[in-house]
Amino acid sequence: MDDRTYTADAEPGETVTVAGWVHEIRDLGGIAFLILRDSTGKIQIKFEKDEMDDDLVETGLGVHRESVVAVTGDVEEEPRAPTGVEITPDSLDVVAEADPELPLDPSGKVDADLSTRLDNRTLDLRKDETKAIFEIRAEVLRSVREAFRNLDATEINTPKIVATGTEGGTELFPITYFGQEAFMNQSPQLFKQLMVGSGLERVFEIGPIFRAEEHNTPRHLNEATSIDFESAFYDHTEAMDACETIVKAAYEGVAENCQDALEALDLQDEFEAPEGDFPRLTYEEAIERINATGELDEQLVWGDDLPTEGEHALGQDVGEHYFITDWPSEIKPFYIKDHDDDEQLSTGFDMMHPTMELVSGGQREHRYDHLVEGFEQQGLDPEQFDYYTKMFKYGMPPHAGWGLGGERLVMTMLGLGNIREAVLFPRDRQRLSP
Ligand code: AMO
């Protein structure tokens, strides 16, 4: 049973047992301090060498940094201690001794490169700044879930082992499934669409997506967390409204509930939840504005996908979250619906942070004949997707939705230089373990 007192709860006048990691030992001669750290903070343990049991002093001051210890003693007020209180120990147990050779320094005094940190995440997460990222990530997911519930969306979980891909054939991870070829799912796209025709109507999912892309960049992962939304009877503009609501809710949750974590990252002054409506630019306006910046060597023409430098130039120009709407149909996937009055133009949209794309979405093609035609045009065999298309024959309402990259949301919110900072154990070209 965990009957210890958290360091943050130790009050003067009490006798407590605290337990945690040895953060630091400061030996000043006649007096020495052991700084003990737990998930709530740090507390000073005082050793007055001449007045205390020799064994206790020897054990307490001889223990290696990052060992786990349990200390019982009286809590006293001490204005000079970092937290204003200290403990005079009656007993100290070394619960788990740490090797003196640490692969990285959790006190943060010695910097470690990202690769060393990722190889030793347990130690890395003893640092306040690293821990703060994951506390904020958890709050993002919590507040997003709450905001989805406020939109009357039901949380779903869909298979990650699938028979076919949806987001382009080259980015699939094949696996063997009882002697049959299968794949890790790239997106819950088709499953979430099937749910809008069910009695659930409006759904969301937070789960892993797998992309076998070759990119080894600071903003791509091979396993990412997708925050997906889909709603019956929504068009693309209503889906964009929902997207804005969810992203703002994530920021607001962090602003309200993560002050300590923001301080650990030194972001308490600059962190701001976006206000006002996100501007909505058409694709055509976007390429005109990118061309006008003069940042690209070659001018973009209608039908081009936006290169990364183009996204950056436009992001700097716009300076806040924004949408790009009305993309050319030919560069959006088969499931995105075209505008009724112009087949060249799709209802697909992207939502952008000034530095990168966060979301793709759109209204979906819900008419059976058009959908099957779309598969054929993209060179996909509609037969293979029969489980999906056939449900469009039994009453599939118009619908729209989107997918938001969870790690990109955290990365852009905190200004992290590398998406891997926002993942406990990232999967990329080099990393399959830990
Ligand atoms: P898309 O492929 O654009 O759309 O993915 C949606 C969002 O997911 C994030 N994302 C990634 N993040 C990190 N590493 C990756 N390799 C990666 N790939 C994607 C991005 C991206 O904007 N089915 C559609 C969504 C929909 O229409 O509902 C889809 O998957 O932030």
In a domain, 2, yes or no: no
- State yes or no: is 408 an active-site residue: yes
Domain that includes residue 159, residue range: 122-279+320-422
Q: Are residues 136 and 82 in the same domain?
A: no
* Residue 94 confidence (pLDDT): 98
In a domain, 114, yes or no: no
CATH code for the domain of 25 = 2.40.50.140
Q: Are residues 219 and 270 in the same domain?
A: yes
- State yes or no: is 67 an active-site residue: no
- State yes or no: is 39 an active-site residue: no
Q: Are residues 228 and 329 in the same domain?
A: yes
Residue 364 marked in a binding site: yes
Q: Are residues 130 and 89 in the same domain?
A: no
Q: Are residues 139 and 14 in the same domain?
A: no
In a domain, 148, yes or no: yes
* Residue 215 confidence (pLDDT): 82
Contact 320, 280 (CB under 8 A): no
Q: Are residues 88 and 143 in the same domain?
A: no
In a domain, 297, yes or no: no
Ligand 1 atom with least separation from CA of 351: 22
Residue 221 marked in a binding site: yes
What residue owns the CA closest to ligand 1's atom 19? Answer: 405
Domain boundary among the residues 61, 79, 96 is at 96
Q: Are residues 381 and 274 in the same domain?
A: yes
What residue owns the CA closest to ligand 1's atom 23? Answer: 189
Instruction: Give the count of beta carbons closer than 10 Å to the beta carbon of residue 152.
Output: 9
What residue owns the CA closest to ligand 1's atom 24? Answer: 403
DSSP string of 232-283?
ET--HHHHHHHHHHHHHHHHHHHHHH-HHHHHHTT-TTT-----SPPPEEEH
Q: Are residues 168 and 230 in the same domain?
A: yes
In a domain, 286, yes or no: no
In a domain, 366, yes or no: yes
- State yes or no: is 211 an active-site residue: yes
Q: Are residues 270 and 358 in the same domain?
A: yes
Q: Are residues 139 and 73 in the same domain?
A: no
* Residue 170 confidence (pLDDT): 63
Q: Is 226 in the pocket of ligand 1 (CB under 6 A)?
A: yes
In a domain, 334, yes or no: yes
Query: Which of 187, 231, 346, 360 is an active site residue?
Result: 360
Q: Is 346 in the pocket of ligand 1 (CB under 6 A)?
A: no
* Residue 180 confidence (pLDDT): 95
Best of 226, 421, 427, 428 for a ligand 1 pocket test (most atoms within 8 Å of beta carbon): 226
Q: Are residues 148 and 248 in the same domain?
A: yes
How far away, in angstroms, is 171 Cα from ligand 1 center?
12
Q: Tens-digit pLDDT profile for the chain (434 aa)?
A: 689 999 999 999 999 999 999 999 999 999 999 999 999 999 999 999 999 999 999 999 999 999 999 999 999 999 999 889 999 999 999 999 999 999 999 988 889 999 999 999 999 999 999 999 999 999 999 999 999 999 999 999 999 999 987 776 568 999 999 999 999 999 999 999 999 999 999 999 999 999 998 889 999 999 999 999 999 999 999 999 999 999 999 999 999 999 999 999 999 999 999 999 999 999 999 999 999 999 999 999 999 999 999 999 999 999 999 999 999 999 999 999 999 999 999 999 999 999 999 999 999 999 999 999 988 888 888 898 999 999 999 999 999 999 999 999 999 999 999 999 999 999 999 999 99
What sections of 120-269 are H helices per DSSP?
A: 121-124, 128-150, 189-196, 236-257, 259-264
Query: Which of 220, 236, 321, 399 is an active site residue?
Result: 220
CATH code for the domain of 358 = 3.30.930.10
How far away, in angstroms, is 168 Cα from ligand 1 center?
12
How far away, in angstroms, is 227 Cα from ligand 1 center?
9
Q: Is 130 in the pocket of ligand 1 (CB under 6 A)?
A: no
Q: Give the model confidence (pLDDT) of 4-62 as tens digits.
A: 999 999 999 999 999 999 999 999 999 999 999 999 999 999 999 999 999 999 999 99
Strands 223-232 and 280-282: unpaired
pTM of the full structure: 0.96
In a domain, 292, yes or no: no
Ligand 1 atom with least separation from CA of 221: 14
- State yes or no: is 360 an active-site residue: yes
Best of 209, 213, 347, 356 for a ligand 1 pocket test (most atoms within 8 Å of beta carbon): 209
Instruction: Give the count of beta carbons closer than 10 Å to the beta carbon of residue 1.
Output: 3
Q: How far apart are CA 408 and CA 285, in angstroms?
A: 25
Contact 7, 41 (CB under 8 A): yes
Domain boundary among the residues 62, 81, 96 is at 96
Domains in the chain, number:
2
Q: Are residues 89 and 210 in the same domain?
A: no
Residue 405 marked in a binding site: yes
